[in-house]
Amino acid sequence: MSTLLTTLEQQARTLAPDERARLAEVLLESLHDTSLPEVEAEWQREIEKRVAAYDRGETQVYIAQEVFAAAKRLDK
């Protein structure tokens, strides 16, 4: 590990939790071609698409209690 990386890591550990989270977000975003706002916009479009399909009655829905009961039966 380079000296610079070691120094940066030590400095990052002194940040407040919310600052470390923001730093992690920025660093992870820098590894991808798509920026975080673009990803969030794409998720928003997907949410709107799914809600519209639900409103039109085009999706199958499940009662949560039934899903949890089925999952408990599988766990046994």
Domain ranges across the chain: 1-31, 33-76
Cβ(46)–Cβ(54) below 8 Å: no
Question: What pLDDT is attached to residue 60?
Answer: 92
Cβ(25)–Cβ(36) below 8 Å: yes
Q: Residue 58 is which amino acid?
A: E
Mean pLDDT in residue range 2-10: 94
- 23-73 pLDDT, tens digit each: 999 998 888 766 778 888 999 999 999 999 999 999 999 999 999 999 999
